[in-house]
Amino acid sequence: MRNMTKRIQKIGTQGDRVSTPEIPAPGEGKRGETGYIGYLLRQAGAAQRLRMERALDDLGVTPPQFVVLTMLVAYPGVSGADLARLAALTPQTVSVIVANLARNALIERTPHPVHGRIQQIEVTQAGQALLKQCRARVKKLEAQMLEGFSANEEQVIRRWLVALAREDGA
């Protein structure tokens, strides 16, 4: 083992340069138009998430919190499990998000009138006001994403994305 360490050290000190491939910037090589469509979707999703993080940061809201608030307003009375499915998050993640939103008085949890073990979640006025600010910022990001597309092209994109989501029951 000791000889192996010396050999590795020797190789490292001989000035041999290790050739590493140059990583292309987004939009180039396989990260560009010739790339795999699944990877391009993942790359675009990551870029959009980063934009959202930056846009919502000073409001103290994360993209997953924004999605949870949005879904709670859109689908009042939804269960925690359904909320996780709607937000495309794990039930554990949604549980943490709900606890944090409740701690910040952005949502209220109350026992279901009939099924006491079930918690109903409602967005408070403070939560709705914050969501309104977040939504305005996210709308700007979405408008930037769609710049240069006609209304018909936007509909094609929306139909395509929905079809992709439906294919595997997501």
Q: Quick one: angle between helices 80-87 and 63-74, nearest 10?
A: 120
pLDDT 10s digits, 28-84: 788 888 889 999 999 999 999 999 999 999 999 999 999 999 999 999 988 888 999
Q: Residue 61 belongs to what domain range?
A: 42-167
Residue carrying structure tokens 């549980």: 95
What value, to the nearest 5°, has the Cα angle with vertex 90 and ends 89 and 91?
A: 120
Q: 118 pLDDT exceeds 80?
A: no
Q: How far apart are CA 98 and CA 85, in angstroms?
A: 14
User: In this structure, are residues 166 and 159 in contact, taking their beta carbons and an 8 Å threshold?
Assistant: no
In a domain, 20, yes or no: no
Does residue 8 sit within a domain?
Answer: no
Mean pLDDT (whole number) for 95-99 = 96
The predicted structure's pLDDT at residue 4:
45
In a domain, 132, yes or no: yes
Overall number of domains in the chain: 1
Question: Does the global pTM surpass 0.75?
Answer: yes
Among 63, 69, 104, which residue's Cα sits nearest to residue 83?
69
In a domain, 117, yes or no: yes
Choose the weakest-confidence range: 2-6, 66-70, 87-91, 93-97.
Answer: 2-6
- For residue 10, pLDDT beyond 60: no
Beta strands in 31-159 (DSSP E): 107-111, 119-123
Asked whether residue 22 is domain-assigned, the answer is no
